[in-house]
A and B are shown apart, each in its own frame.
Chain A
Amino acid sequence: MDAFTTHTGTAAPLRRTNVDTDQIIPAEYLKRITRTGFEDGLFVAWRTNEPDFVLNRPEYANASILVAGPDFGTGSSREHANWALLDGGFRVVISPRFADIFRNNSTKAGLLTVVLPEADVEALWAAIEADPALPVTVDLQAEQVTYGDVTVPFQIDPYTRWRLLEGLDDVGLTERHLDDIQAFENARPAWKPKALPAV
């Protein structure tokens, strides 16, 4: 995973609530067995059917920060949604509320999710609608979002922040505790079910 420290780019206003992962990438685009190349499915229904959909507008075509309404990433656990956003050029999603699995997947994939109160999201929407070229900086080190002369702090749990800043792989971290895992396994009751052999 790539480390995330700070990112500056332009931001696209996605004025929708409950953006589920089926909208971020529909099921028919999940058949690929690689980890990249999902940009063709990103918001494909809205991009195809709605000519004035925000990401169809040239002024937002190169945005790398997505600013969405509450309950972003609900629904299916598909990490393809996070990959599609990354493949589509996004490094950060800002929303007042994220679905848990989406948020968790983001921390593994290197996509930063930033929770801001609805009023701050409204203000940011207004600013980037007034000036689509406005640079927005998301600083994970300082835990703040900055644009124009506005600075908004955000919170993230310290452990996740550390992992993102360092770009650390969870499996590697867990492997430091194999002895604990072994000890736990040794104490498990023998009657706990096993899938093998097939009965």
Chain B
Amino acid sequence: MTLQHYLVISAILFTLGVFAVLTRRNAISILMGIELILNSCNLNFAAFSRFMTPAEDINGQIIAIFGIVLAAAEAAVFLAIILAIYREFGTIQPDQTDTLKG
């Protein structure tokens, strides 16, 4: 496995994430897309840290760990907001929650 392999995988993950956010009609699937985006970044950081910097320099891996923590926090807030949306609208489809526009 070289750096290129990791970068290609993370680029694919990122694109899939953006694709999911743009096309999915369900808030949970959008959350999954966001998680894919964040994880592709973590993979990037870890791979760069392993291949591009000296072995004792673990800054990239530390950033990846923080990335995981923040992704978890974001998922928690997102799910709470989805819950509030469901209570108010009875659906979690973004195209049906459209009282604000113009």
Chain A partners chain B: no
Interface residues of A (CB under 8 A from B): none
